[in-house]
Amino acid sequence: QVQLVESGGGLVQPGGSLRLSCAASGIILSIPDMGWYRQAPGNQRELVAIMAGDGSTNYADAVKGRFTISRGNTERTVYLQMNSLKPEDTAVYSCYANVKISRSGTGKNYWGQGTQVTVSS
């Protein structure tokens, strides 16, 4: 089985910054895609940012220019640098990974339990 564990959330003022981290553990052959989702109260979970193994990235329009996703050289870690935070960024941020455990199998999606990010004065 695969586990994703996030850290780095907290309370910050508008305009502040946070850096989220996520580490994957378990039997893993490769992680073709890894990134971050978020869910605010009353809202659906949305994709924030994702990075493929080749370094290509996709960002939600709401965070473009403010958030930066990166992956560690082990392929089992992903980070989200969040700058110029706004109150509307307040949400539970969950790590996402598409994990392949064997060459013959297909990738499976996993999500972590999430870390709370609150942007408020």
Q: Where are the beta strands (DSSP E) in the chain?
A: 2-7, 10-12, 18-26, 30-39, 46-52, 57-59, 67-71, 77-82, 91-100, 108-111, 115-119
- Reading the chain (121 residues) residue by residue, the pLDDT tens digits are 899 999 999 999 999 999 999 999 999 999 999 999 999 999 999 999 999 988 999 999 999 999 999 998 888 999 999 999 999 999 999 999 999 999 988 999 999 999 999 999 9
